[in-house]
Amino acid sequence: MNDVAPAELLRARVAADPSRPLVTFYDDATGERVELSARTFDNWVAKTANLLVDGLGAEPGTRVVLALPPHWQTAVWLAACWAAGLTAVPVDPEAVRAAGGVGPEVVEPDPAGAPYLLAAAEEVLPDVLDDQDAEEIVGLSLHALGGTLADCPPGVTDYALEVRSYGDRFAPVAPVDPGETALLVTKTTFSGAQLTREAREAAAKWGLDAQARVLVDMPFTTLDGLLAGLLAPLASGASVIIQRNFDKEALDRRITLEHVTAVAGVPGRKDATGSVHRLL
d(CA 10, CA 195): 13
Strands 262-264 and 277-278: parallel
Render pLDDT for 131-170 as a digit per residue (tens, 0 to 9).
Answer: 999 999 999 999 977 799 999 999 999 999 999 999 999 9
Q: pTM higher than 0.75 for the full model?
A: yes
Q: Mind listing the domains of the chain with CATH numbers?
A: 49-185 (3.40.50.980)
Render pLDDT for 73-126 as a digit per residue (tens, 0 to 9).
Answer: 999 999 999 999 999 999 999 999 999 999 888 998 888 889 999 999 999 999
Helices 192-206 + 7-16 axis angle, to 10: 50
Residues near 150 by beta carbon (within 8 Å), at least 6 away in sequence: 122, 141
